[in-house]
Chain A
């Protein structure tokens, strides 16, 4: 299945900001995060098709996954 993965802010460093990726059926957001080498502790908002999801969300063909880093400074 194909999932469009869009990375934001610092997650773009050393990675492709937006790409269509092939994943096996049953792939979760956590699997994509691991494949992209993004530390879970750095993740803030995760959206699938513009809706907020958790790491265990299973993706389906055609999904758009957006991942933002956690911002905590002031």
Chain B
């Protein structure tokens, strides 16, 4: 057993390592916070921050999350909540892609938008937020728009991709690049009181269901807007999907789509 292992085993209380002990180990052994976290989990111990995960996610599962990389395309309504939940979940690397800055009309729903950061790049705010929540998580920020031209490069190495885009044209490009790279894609879209979620595994093709009869780049959100609660609901469903895909547990919503109607509080599942 190495010195780090001995140290961690010695400071563990009921199998838990406090954040201060993890930080001490990081400084003392000249390792990153994430490297110490990896060792903790390999020892079958658990960073205390994840103690409420333990009945749901095993140490092995927590290690799988730490070793995973999730790309989030869009850091607005959906993306803000998605990044928040992925960071708290303990995903090792989050790649955040968005070209925009925060504007006043984002304040009604976008978790990362505040008065203080209006005008700031969304990915910059995302990086700061993640570092405040969980220092074991690396946020790789790309201040650019996703597209067919840069998609392969941006998504390379991702375990899962989360669609938090705001238009259908780019969603179709994203779905195509994910199929090409064989990376699972968790799709979510919202408009008003309504939302939808599905997961495209490498064997699936969800494209036809994203555009269907519509010919434009936008859906009914142009008429309905987006209130605060719809992105929170759909983003949470997306993160649950991403978590299951990474862990290889549960039943992802592949070959199915969940359509959420928060106005009538009806959830419809359709077969794709």
Per-residue 0/1 for B212-249: is the Cβ within 8 Å of any A Cβ (1 yes, 0 no)? 11111111110110100001000000000000000000
A30 CA / B167 CA spacing, docked (Å) = 24
Across chains A and B, the number of contacting residue pairs, with CB separation under 8 Å, is: 109
Task: Judge whether A46 is part of the interface by a CB distance below 8 angstroms.
Answer: yes
Let me know if A74 and B259 touch, CB within 8 A.
Answer: no
B92 CB within 8 Å of chain A: no
Residue A50 lies at the interface, judged by CB distance under 8 Å to chain B: yes
Q: Are B165 and A74 in contact (CB under 8 A)?
A: yes
A40 within 8 A of B: yes
Q: Distance in Å from the Cβ of A65 to the closest Cβ of chain B?
A: 13
Does any Cβ of A come within 8 Å of B203's Cβ?
A: no
Tell me if B211 and A70 are in contact (CB < 8 A): yes
Give A50 Cβ to nearest chain B Cβ, in Å: 6
Chain A hits for B264, CB < 8 A: 12
A9 to B217, CA, bound (A): 19
Nearest CB in chain A: distance from B100 CB, A: 11
Verify A45–B209 contact, CB threshold 8 A. yes
Whose C-beta in chain A lies nearest to the C-beta of B214? A70
Given contacts A72-B218, A73-B166, 5 further A-B contacts (CB under 8 A): A9-B193, A46-B213, A55-B213, A72-B220, A74-B74
Interface set of A (CB-CB < 8 Å, partner B):
8-10, 12, 40-47, 50, 52, 54-55, 66, 68-74
Give the interface of B toward A (CB within 8 A).
74, 76-79, 163-168, 171, 188-196, 208-209, 211-221, 223-224, 226, 231, 257, 259, 261, 263-264, 268, 270-272
